[in-house]
């Protein structure tokens, strides 16, 4: 009978990985820990490991004693823009966001404690400096945030628990673009066009919080989490770099007089999120979970940078209109035990993009996508090793008004992304 259940679990896992859903993708990092990554983040209702600090803090009451989880994710994205001007690829940026979680539940005590460090956003979009035709809108955006997240949970008994915590986010937010300016040397009345890069970046931080509930029965359970919005703010600097400067006497001095370093202040809002899930085990060796995540991105109407001073002349404060939209993501994961030590898992997800076509720009160009994932866990009595792979298949997005030098020309953004994850879990 046990052999038949294992075969069944493998068959259902293969069927799930071969399925297809239509959807879209944002830019937040919702997969933390390889076991959860291999199930496309469908972990809110079970969360049977220290990564529960992110997925559902209330679930850490089910982790006895002291437990520790550490891991590293590896992401590799490929973004392209194509129009009548040509085909252009973004720089190949490889990301390595880490995660670390620790939980402690004293024996016979209803309270459980935990702390986590992970990356809610670890995003870079870096287009070609000189050739990319939309570089006059946005050439590079980078947001890399780390979150420190202490949590407390209480076991209510009969399978119920409550939890929550404080979140401190800190990292960098960079926004860069190019401009073309007519520059006249001091010794001449003739002007010359010069392209200049504006590179602005700031260290930003914010405080936020979350609360959660968890219920677990032998063959099913559910969980829900509310994460408050995080209003990122910070200060930094801006620098300018002229490109392909013509060999004209006095033009370097004119450029230095106009384009000199300054300071900036920036803001960005990560929206509130309501996430819930339900899991079911038709057999002890086979577990399914379906999660949904709702995020209120419509609260992000603009992002602002205040320059002191602003050599580009587009105002002391640059307001970038976002008018993003709320999103609902759906995630389906399955996990099956093949032997007493080996488990396989997989999943498929629909991840909506908050960016509408009206405000689509090169900094956040990705759109419709489906996420596929799979992986395995090998367990020893006190240690487990997890490996996972996740593939983001983004659909094409048509875009207008991207090219300053070719007004009216339309283009297309397309992308795909691969992510790998590795985690180690210790039970002391």
Q: Which residue has the tokens 């994460």?
A: 227
Per residue in 101-160, pLDDT (tens digit) is 999 999 999 999 999 999 999 999 999 998 999 999 999 999 999 999 999 999 999 999
- Which of 64, 97, 62, 91 has the alpha carbon at shortest distance from 78? 91
Give burial (CB, 10 Å; 0-12/13-18/19+) of 281: middle
Phi-psi sector, 43: left (phi>0), alpha (psi -120 to 50), beta: alpha
Mean pLDDT of 171-183: 95
The residue count for the chain: 428
Handedness of CA 125, 129, 133, 136 (dihedral sign): positive
Give the model's pLDDT for residue 27: 67
- Which of 195, 85, 96 has the alpha carbon at shortest distance from 139? 195
Q: Which residue has the tokens 């020309």?
A: 409
Element (H, E) at 238: strand 230-243
Please give the distance of CA 113 from its chain centroid, rounded to a whole number.
26
Give the model's pLDDT for residue 26: 53
Give the model's pLDDT for residue 178: 96
More confident residue, 186 or 423: 423
Element (H, E) at 113: strand 111-118
pLDDT of 276 strictly over 80: yes
Cβ neighbours for 188, distance < 8 A, ≥ 6 positions apart: 248, 250
Give the DSSP letter of residue 77: E
Q: Which SS3 state, helix, strand or coil, does residue 121 take?
A: coil
How many percent of the chain have pLDDT more than 70?
93
Residue 274 contacts residue 241 (beta carbons within 8 Å): no
- Which of 106, 101, 115, 223 has the alpha carbon at shortest distance from 160? 223
Phi-psi sector, 360: left (phi>0), alpha (psi -120 to 50), beta: beta
pLDDT band of residue 8 (cuts 50, 70, 90) is very low
pLDDT band of residue 294 (cuts 50, 70, 90) is very high
Mean pLDDT of 411-418: 95
Give the model's pLDDT for residue 352: 87
Question: For the chain, how big is the Rg over CA atoms in Å?
Answer: 24
Mean pLDDT of 309-315: 87
Please give the distance of CA 418 from its chain centroid, rounded to a whole number.
13
The CA distance from 19 to 26, in Å, is 21
Specify the CATH class of 2-427 in words.
mainly beta
Mean pLDDT of 316-338: 94
Give the model's pLDDT for residue 369: 83
Per residue in 25-57, pLDDT (tens digit) is 456 767 889 999 999 999 999 999 999 999 999
Domain limits, the chain: 2-427
Give the model's pLDDT for residue 189: 83
Residue 301 contacts residue 356 (beta carbons within 8 Å): no
pLDDT of 246 strictly over 80: yes
- Which of 100, 97, 104, 105 has the alpha carbon at shortest distance from 116? 100
Quick count: other Cβ atoms within 10 Å of Cβ 158?
Answer: 8
Mean pLDDT of 257-274: 94
Mean pLDDT of 182-189: 87
pLDDT of 24 strictly over 90: no
Residue 33 contacts residue 390 (beta carbons within 8 Å): no
Give the model's pLDDT for residue 354: 92
The predicted model scores a pTM of 0.91
Q: Which SS3 state, helix, strand or coil, does residue 59 take?
A: helix
pLDDT of 17 strictly over 50: no
Give the model's pLDDT for residue 310: 86
The CA distance from 130 to 245, in Å, is 13
pLDDT of 23 strictly over 70: no
Largest CA distance in the chain: 91
Q: Which SS3 state, helix, strand or coil, does residue 48 take?
A: coil
């Amino acid at each position: 009978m046990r052999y038949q259940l294992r075969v069944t679990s493998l068959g259902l896992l293969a069927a799930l990985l071969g399925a297809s859903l239509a959807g879209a993708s944002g830019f937040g990092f919702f997969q933390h820990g390889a076991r959860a990554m291999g199930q496309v983040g469908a972990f809110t209702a079970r969360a049977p490991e220290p990564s529960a600090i992110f997925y559902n803090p209330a679930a850490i009451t089910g982790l006895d004693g002291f437990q520790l989880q550490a891991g590293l994710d590896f992401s590799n994205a490929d973004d392209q823009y194509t129009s009548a001007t040509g085909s252009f690829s973004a720089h190949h940026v490889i990301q390595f966001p880490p995660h670390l979680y620790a939980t402690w539940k004293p024996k016979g005590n209803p309270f459980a404690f935990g702390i986590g460090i992970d990356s809610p956003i670890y995003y870079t979009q870096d287009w070609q400096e000189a050739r990319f035709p939309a570089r006059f809108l946005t050439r590079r955006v980078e947001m890399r945030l780390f979150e420190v997240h202490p949590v407390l949970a209480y076991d209510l008994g009969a399978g119920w628990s409550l939890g929550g915590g404080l979140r401190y986010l800190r990292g960098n937010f960079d926004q860069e673009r190019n401009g073309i300016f007519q520059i006249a040397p001091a010794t001449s009345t003739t002007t010359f066009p010069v392209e200049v890069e504006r590179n602005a970046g700031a260290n930003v931080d914010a405080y936020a919080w979350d609360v959660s509930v968890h219920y677990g029965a032998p063959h099913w359970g559910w969980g829900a989490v509310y994460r408050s919005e995080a209003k990122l703010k910070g200060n930094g600097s801006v620098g300018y770099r002229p490109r392909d400067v013509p060999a004209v006497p006095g033009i370097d001095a004119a450029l230095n007089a106009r384009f000199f370093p300054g300071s900036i202040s920036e803001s960005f809002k990560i929206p509130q999120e309501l996430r819930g899930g339900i899991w079911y085990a038709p057999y002890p060796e086979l577990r399914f979970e379906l999660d949904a995540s709702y995020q209120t991105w419509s609260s992000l109407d603009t992002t602002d940078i205040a320059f002191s001073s602003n050599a580009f002349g587009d105002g002391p404060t640059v307001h970038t209109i976002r008018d993003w939209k709320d999103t609902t993501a759906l995630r389906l994961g399955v996990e099956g035990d093949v032997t007493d030590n080996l488990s396989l898992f997989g999943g498929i997800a629909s991840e909506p993009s908050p960016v509408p076509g009206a405000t689509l720009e090169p900094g956040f160009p990705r759109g419709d996508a489906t996420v596929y994932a799979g992986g395995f866990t090998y367990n020893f009595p006190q240690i487990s090793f997890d490996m996972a792979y996740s593939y983001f298949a983004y659909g094409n997005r048509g875009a207008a008004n991207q090219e300053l030098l070719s007004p009216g020309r339309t283009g297309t953004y397309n992308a795909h992304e691969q992510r790998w994850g590795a985690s180690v879990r210790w039970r002391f």
